[in-house]
Amino acid sequence: MLETIHLSHYYGNFAAVIDLNLVIESGELFGFLGPNGAGKSTTMRMLAGLLRPTSGTALLAGKDLCKEPLAARRMVGFMPDELALYEKLTGSEFLRFIGGLYGLSDRRVADHSQSLLVMLGMDDKKDQVIQGYSHGMRQKIGLICALLHEPQILLMDEPLSGLDPRSARLVKDVLKSFCHNGGTVMLSTHTLEIAERMCDRVGIIDHGKLIAAGRIEDLRAQEHQATNASLEDLFLQLTGGQEIAEIANNLAETS
């Protein structure tokens, strides 16, 4: 469903993403992990068609992102880590605006968004001005916008950031339902416990390079970790954070 082929992006001389080769299957919820500045957001912005690759390409539901950019982008719903919402519009008005960008009729927007608004507990908030929305309400409207044109692939950059437990559970249920119905989700998060519980497979990127990808049990075997090793243990070992963790533990023990 989603494949990157030698995908790279440079900001001047700085290599943000280097020769990324990755395959994500239909129905899969894939966790894309890495330290700050590792290249996660740059990768997602390229896949969403917002940033042109320096080299390489990606196939999105069979559409070549470089050769068929408009067709490829229609396959994707994107929720960035920082949402840009029109503060003076109501939730319903903003959804109609986004639907218009995709060429959807008001009726289709209303029909498709209604079930999502109800599922995410936003039906009674849709006629309120976005300026008065809480962080969680903004995240939910952002997710509905990403799903509005019925994409086959969802790219989610920190979608659970700042959500209370109930809202986070609702969002997770929507994502799992999307995958159950044949969609594909690529999700980045710094909350490794969430990735461990939710994701079918994970990929770890560091300094722009994909350093590991697979099921957590396969990564444990690959890194010679115990069968009960957490994703956090694997992440720290693979990204060189184990030494920092050990120093922190030593400081805690001596305090």
Quote the tokens at residue 60.
């999105």
Quote the tokens at residue 46.
């390229």
Quote the tokens at residue 141.
């409207």
What's the confidence (pLDDT) of residue 86? 93
Q: In a structure prediction context, what are the per-residue pLDDT tens digits for the chain, which is 255 residues long?
A: 899 999 999 999 999 999 999 999 999 999 999 998 899 999 999 999 999 999 999 999 999 999 999 999 999 999 988 888 999 999 999 999 999 998 999 899 998 899 899 988 899 999 999 999 998 899 999 999 999 999 999 999 988 887 888 888 888 888 999 999 999 999 998 888 888 888 999 999 999 999 999 998 888 888 777 677 888 888 888 887 655 545 445 545 555
Among 203, 242, 173, smallest CA distance to 34 is for: 203
Task: Report the SS3 class of residue 186.
Answer: strand
Domains of the chain, earliest start first: 2-214 (3.40.50.300)
What's the confidence (pLDDT) of residue 248? 46
What's the confidence (pLDDT) of residue 255? 53
Contact 225, 237 (CB under 8 A): yes
Length of the chain in residues, anyone?
Answer: 255
* DSSP conformation class of 133: -
What's the confidence (pLDDT) of residue 192? 87
C-alpha span between 57 and 9 (Å, rounded): 10
Quote the tokens at residue 200.
């079918």
What's the confidence (pLDDT) of residue 221? 83
Q: Taking the model in full, what pTM does it have?
A: 0.86
